[in-house]
């Protein structure tokens, strides 16, 4: 097998097009196409659905991609293992859930870049269930995720528990309401919240369902700062991390609502497939730095 053909195929699957793959690999588009054809001829199977846009792998292509990523990682591990300088090279594909990206895109990534300057870190943001799937399929090397407290990652993944992370309720400062309310009171309000798939939203809905109370979504929005701007305008109640509130430009227009009978939290994890190989140390450095950031957040 020509590894250059495999690299081209992986690039096409990950970028979704010949054009984007050629830009990533600094090759001509016909050159990328030839490499894909060479790999298909060698494996005796069609690997790409050429009628789909963006390009998607066939069933055989999915298997070839997963196995191919493992082969390329093993080659990277081999190169690092025999290199005389001991420098960790190659890619580190890291997934971050939106909540943890608020803490994970500063100090923890700086720590990885400082200790492993030859390592190309590629960050992808998305919901935790999708990140877990990507790690399981070898599309990500590791992911920092949040799950409802009491829910653990799949047993076939290595999972480091970073502890429970608090969240708070906020409303517009000029809304007249008690500083301390119960779930029944909150059930009468609309929510400005993440789209479905967010761990916080799952925790919240589970609590309302258990109390047989309605959960009314007023606005769905992915960006934390956009949600806080909508809450500040009085569109509903929001769920936010203390860090996001502290950093928000709208913090002076918001106030926290206490809920003595409900203290929502999610649990943060770092997950990866075993074995980590050459990425064991980068994953460890990122994990430790993120853990420090989260512990400092809880104490602040």
Cα dihedral: 282, 284, 287, 290 (round 10): -70
What tens digit of pLDDT does each residue of 9-55 get?
999 998 889 999 999 899 999 999 999 999 999 999 999 998 888 88
Q: Are residues 277 and 131 in the same domain?
A: yes
Q: Are residues 259 and 272 in the same domain?
A: no
In sequence order, what are the residues at sequence separation of 6 or more whose Cβ sits closer than 8 angstroms to the Cβ of residue 159?
152, 153, 269, 270, 271
Q: Are residues 55 and 16 in the same domain?
A: yes
Query: Does the pTM exceed 0.85?
Result: no
Q: Are residues 116 and 259 in the same domain?
A: no
User: Is 78 contained in some domain?
Assistant: no
User: Is 153 contained in some domain?
Assistant: yes
Q: Are residues 154 and 277 in the same domain?
A: yes
| Domain of residue 270, CATH code | 3.40.190.10
User: Is 79 contained in some domain?
Assistant: no
What tens digit of pLDDT does each residue of 43-99 get?
999 999 988 888 899 999 999 998 888 888 777 767 665 555 567 888 899 999 877
User: Is 278 contained in some domain?
Assistant: yes
Whether the bond into 83 is cis, omega within 30 of 0: no
Q: For residues 172 and 247, is the Cβ–Cβ distance under 8 A?
A: no
**Confidence bin at 249 (pLDDT 50/70/90):** very high
Q: Are residues 295 and 230 in the same domain?
A: no
Parent domain of 202:
168-263
Q: Are residues 3 and 21 in the same domain?
A: yes
User: Considering its fold, how many domains does the chain have in total?
Assistant: 3
Q: Are residues 276 and 146 in the same domain?
A: yes
| Domain of residue 50, CATH code | 1.10.10.10
User: Is 77 contained in some domain?
Assistant: no
Of 260, 120, 250, 111, nearest to 180 (Cα)?
A: 260
Report in angstroms the alpha-carbon separations of 219 from 32, 208, 235, 283, 289.
Answer: 43, 18, 8, 36, 34
């Amino acid at each position: 097998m020509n590894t250059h053909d495999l690299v081209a195929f992986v690039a096409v699957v990950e970028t979704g097009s010949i054009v984007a793959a050629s830009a990533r690999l600094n090759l001509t588009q016909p050159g990328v196409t030839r490499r894909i054809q060479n790999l298909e001829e060698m494996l005796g199977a069609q690997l790409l659905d050429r009628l789909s846009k963006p390009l998607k792998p066939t069933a055989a292509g999915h298997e070839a991609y997963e196995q191919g990523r493992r082969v390329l990682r093993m080659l990277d591990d081999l190169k690092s293992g025999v290199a005389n300088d001991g420098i960790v090279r190659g890619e580190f594909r890291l997934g971050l859930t939106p909540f943890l990206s608020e803490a994970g895109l500063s100090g923890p990534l700086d720590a990885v870049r400082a200790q492993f300057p030859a390592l190309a870190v590629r960050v992808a943001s998305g919901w935790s269930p999708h990140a877990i799937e990507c790690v399981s399929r070898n599309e990500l090397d590791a992911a920092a995720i949040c799950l409802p407290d009491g829910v653990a990652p799949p047993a076939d993944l290595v999972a480091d528990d970073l502890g429970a992370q608090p969240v708070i309720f906020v409303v517009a400062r000029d809304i007249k309401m008690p500083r301390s309310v119960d779930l029944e009171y909150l059930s009468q309000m609309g929510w400005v919240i993440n789209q479905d798939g967010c761990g916080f939203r799952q925790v919240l809905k589970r609590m309302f369902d258990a109390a047989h109370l309605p959960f009314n979504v007023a606005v769905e929005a992915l960006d934390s700062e956009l949600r806080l701007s909508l809450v500040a305008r009085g569109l509903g109640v929001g769920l936010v991390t203390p860090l996001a509130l502290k950093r928000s430009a709208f913090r002076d227009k918001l106030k926290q609502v206490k809920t003595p009978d409900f203290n929502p939290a999610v649990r943060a994890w770092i997950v990866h497939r075993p074995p980590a190989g050459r990425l064991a140390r980068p994953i460890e450095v990122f994990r430790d730095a993120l853990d420090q950031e989260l512990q400092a957040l809880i104490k602040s």
